[in-house]
Amino acid sequence: MKAPENHHPAAATTQGVTEAGRFFRYMAEYVGFTPVDAEVIHQTRSIIAKYLPEIVSDFYTHLLRYPLTRSLFLHPDGTINEEYLVLRMRHLSNFWLRTAEGVFDDEYAGYVDHVGRAHTSHGADPKVYVPERYVIGQVGMIQHAISRAVSTELRDQDDELEFRAVEAWDKLMMVLLEMLARAYGHERQPESYGAPMPVEAAWVRALATHAIDLEHGDESAQPLRRVAVATVGEIPDGQRKIVQVDNLSIGVFHHEGAWYAVRNSCVHQGGPVATGLLEGDVLTCPWHGYRYDLRSGICLADPDAELDRYPVTVAEDTIYLDVPENRPTPGVEKHAQEQTLRENEFHAADLAAGQMLPLTVNGLTILVYNVDNKFYATDESCTHAQGPLSVGNLDGKIITCLLHGSCFDVTSGTVVCAPATVPLKTYPVTVEGEIGRVTVT
């Protein structure tokens, strides 16, 4: 773990330290890390100090064993840079000994933030860059080593303290992972620290049960209804059509004389799979290249995963699909009744400056943005390859698609950077009192 030379870095500004401390406290509350846990961490400091030579040596032995991580410690001629390796070992030992002190104030949080940035081009040396996946792996390896050391020392002495210590370290590691990953600057939207919201646990349980029943239950028990979606003439052999049925986007294919209908949602990240390239029987999602057998819907990389399929019937030049009956999810009727907003409405207070909110209006997914406390709305899909802008990065009034890097001005829909060439469609947004409304025509 790379750290600054000074054990208590002065490089971070007061504002930066305060912000890091705020983020640390918020994440600590999120994972349930309490002052009691901090005290338990402190009680294990002597154990960490005792096992530190073993932890550090095992850690770097592992890194040096594999070419990908070994390359971080080599001279240009391919020999190991022992001086640099020793420096890194010193920094790693300092980091975990300081962490074991159990003092998690703003100064400590600023220190962790500084350590995180030191692994990236945002640190003091822009030539230093350790890929984020390595940092995540490092924390996981140290977590395992510390848990093993704590258990070795306490198992036969104090079972209760052993359990509490391992649990406290596990929770702390979750916070540290968030702190270190934060330094890479990939946040999709600005951090916000809203108070925890009330959640009706029974509603969530009913929703989860329903989802699992849909995924793993008896599909034949689910009532279906037949819906006309197109005429035969609209979809010649070798062609397809994307249709919208309720909240379902479905690709209807006329392929080698037969008819197939699959949900237009890749099992990976919900990409518009039905718009992808069809070669033979293989349908490829345009987002990340997941491939499916169109006839069976099965994912070629994972036979246990498959696209949702719908029976197709052709009668008198009309194409019908049998789709699930659109009915309320069991156990959530009460929750639905409490929702008074129409599908094109949102609570303005729920959308802070710099944030965005997806809405489904008339079957279309719309993205609403708060730019300097003014609201704008565009289509949610990038015009280049239908990438989901809702998981993109909003910086001021510019939204960047993470799929291929296309950028748009959300106030006008204008393309700011390639590869997109077609502007986003925009929609008027009005606010009356506390309610915002998107007009979709």
- Say which residue, 29 or 287, is predicted with more confidence: 29
132-168: pLDDT as tens digits: 888 888 889 999 999 999 999 998 889 899 999 999 9
Round the average pLDDT of the chain to a whole number and report it: 82
162 and 37, same domain (yes or no): yes
Asked, for residue 194, whether it belongs to a domain, the answer is: no
pLDDT at 248 over 60: yes
174 shares its domain with 231: no
What three-state secondary structure class fits 184?
coil
Whether 319 and 345 map to the same domain: the answer is: no
| Number of domains present in the structure of the chain | 3
- In terms of Cα–Cα distance, which of 283, 214, 288 is closest to 251? 283
Question: Is 203 within the bounds of a domain?
Answer: no
Pairwise pLDDT comparison (422 vs 187), residue with the higher score: 422
Taking each continuous run of H as one helix and of E as one strand, the counts in the chain are: 10, 20
Same domain, residue pair 406 and 315: no
Asked if residue 161 belongs to a domain, the reply is yes
The CATH number given to whatever domain includes residue 400 is: 2.102.10.10
Return all residues near 370 (Cβ < 8 A) that are at least 6 apart.
351, 352, 353, 354, 355, 356
Has residue 209 been placed in a domain? Answer: no
Residue 129: band (very low, low, confident or very high) from pLDDT cuts 50, 70, 90:
confident
Owning domain of residue 421? 338-438
Residue 194 DSSP one-character state: P
pTM above 0.75, yes or no: no
Q: How far is CA 87 from CA 56, 62, 81, 82, 92, in A?
A: 12, 17, 10, 9, 9
Query: Within this chain, do residues 249 and 310 fall inside the same structural domain, yes or no?
Result: yes
Which residue from 43, 49, 29 is spatially nearest to 171, judged by alpha carbons? 29
Q: String of b and e for 375-395 (b: at least 16 CB within 10 Å)?
A: bbbbbbbbbbbbbbbbbbbbe
Task: Give the tens place of pLDDT for each residue, 353-387.
Answer: 888 888 877 777 889 999 988 999 999 888 988 77
**Domain contains 132:** yes
Query: Same domain, yes or no, for 119 and 249?
Result: no
Exposure string of 51-73, with b = 16+ CB inside 10 Å and e = fewer, is bbeebbebbbeebeeeeebeebb
Confidence of residue 5 (pLDDT cuts 50, 70, 90): very low
Choose the final residue of a domain: 284, 301, 324.
324
Q: Which of 294, 324, 354 is the last residue of a domain?
A: 324
Measured at the CA of 64, the angle between CA 61 and CA 67, to 5 degrees, comes to 150
Between CA 197 and CA 200 the distance in angstroms is 10
Q: Flag whether 21 is in a domain.
A: yes
Whether 177 and 226 map to the same domain: the answer is no
What is the Cα gyration radius of the chain? 27
One domain for residues 25 and 116: yes
Q: 355: left (phi > 0), else alpha (psi -120 to 50), else beta?
A: beta
Q: Is the pLDDT of residue 4 over 70?
A: no
Which of 293, 324, 355 is the last residue in one of the domains? 324
